[in-house]
Amino acid sequence: MPIKRPRLALGPLSYFWTEEQLLEFYQQIADSPVDIVYLGETICSKRRSLDSDQWLTLGRTLQEAGKEVVLSTLTLIEAGSELGALHRLCQSDEFLIEANDLAAVQLLKGKSFVAGPATNIYNQRTLSFLTKMGMRRWVPSVELGHEPLVDLQENRPEGVETELLVWGRLPLAYSARCYTARAHNLPKDDCQLRCLDYPDGMLLSTREEKPFLTINGIQTQSALTQNLSHQFDNLCQLGVDVLRISPQSRGTLKVIDLFDDLRNQRTTVEEVAAWVAKLAPLGSCDGYWHGEAGMEKHLEQIEGASS
């Protein structure tokens, strides 16, 4: 029996871009081979380049282009206004919703939804519980490596899809404090939208000037980009249904094309690896997949052989 080839998803944008940048980017995405597109703000409610009606209009445009559209919720709810916006979003039936915290899961009970990586699913019991709530697809937490995923895939509930982050900076933590504002000696309530100055986040290096983390408002990300292209055959064997690619300001369309070539057998893992150094802003990592520190790089040998 032939192995089912996975679909490609473009995850929600983690960064703060202008309206012009957003609309131009998603216009290009409409013509790309990606199958699923996640839209909406997941980090900070002050980022309002597009309002809710504009996101919906954009979703309809992408849907007309043949994409499955999913609206993503905020990961950290801190104010009554944010809770109200969450209520309105979860009441909508036009598009599937990605729940990024348990408040959204509760509001979506009885409706189909996607459980985002911040819902922290680590075991079969949680998978079964959320499936009964209405979950139809889940995104494993980024630190959940190969071995735990094997067990969860073997025992996941019927009808539930698995979507895995295969390209993008790792979302590591969220805080009530805005680190970008703090770095500029600004209070969170008067941040002056400084995130706009960092279309791929603000780099945090060690004292030895080694890239360590990326600061993105209230979110902390890895500095390195997780790349699991070299695990493509393994992911197919595991039955991963959807491969998630996180947007970055440059090279996202090329990343999508490379994974599309990979799933359609128009290229090889080695050929894809040759592009890694060019497309990952500060280099790649895959440590979590191997049960190690996330910044470890088991794919260096593949990259080196292809360069």
pLDDT digits (tens, 9 = 90+) for 220-241: 999 999 999 999 999 999 999 9
pLDDT computed for residue 300 by the predictor? 58
> For residue 151, what are the contacts with CB-CB under 8 A and spacing of at least 6?
124
Write out 223-236 in H/E/C secondary structure.
EEEEECHHHHHHHH
As a residue count, the chain comes to 307
Residue 154's CB: how many other CB atoms inside 10 A?
A: 10
Asked if residue 278 is part of any domain, the answer here is no
Burial class (CB in 10 A: 0-12, 13-18, 19+), 4: exposed
Q: pLDDT under 70 in the chain at which residues?
A: 1-3, 277, 300-307
**Inside any domain, residue 192:** no
Q: What is the pLDDT of residue 303?
A: 56
CA–CA separation, 26 and 197 (whole Å): 20
DSSP 12: P
Range of the domain at 43: 7-169+226-273
Confirm whether 113 is domain-assigned. Answer: yes
Task: Enter the pTM of the model.
Answer: 0.95
Nearest Cα residue to 255 out of 241, 235, 275, 285: 275
Residue closest to 74 by CA, chosen among 64, 66, 63, 85: 85
11 part of a folded domain:
yes
The contacts of residue 204 (CB under 8 Å, 6+ apart) are 212, 213, 214, 215, 223
pLDDT at residue 301, rounded to an integer:
54
CATH code of the domain covering residue 146: 3.20.20.70
**Which backbone phi and psi does 190 adopt, to 5 degrees?**
-135, 55
b vs e for 10-32, b when ≥16 Cβ sit within 10 Å of the residue's Cβ? bbbbbbbbeeebbeebbeebbeb
Alpha helices in 119-241 (DSSP H): 124-133, 146-155, 179-183, 232-238
Identify whether 285 is part of a domain: no
The total of other beta-carbon atoms located within 10 Å of residue 225's CB is 24
Q: What is the pLDDT of residue 87?
A: 95
- In this predicted structure, what is the pLDDT of residue 128? 96
In a domain, 302, yes or no: no
CA distance 141 to 172: 9
Structure tokens at 31: 């013509």
Residue 288, domain member (yes or no)? no
- Tokens, residue 300: 């260096």
How many folded domains does the chain comprise? 1
Say if residues 214 and 204 touch (Cβ distance below 8 Å). yes
Does any domain span residue 291? no
Predicted pLDDT of residue 153: 96
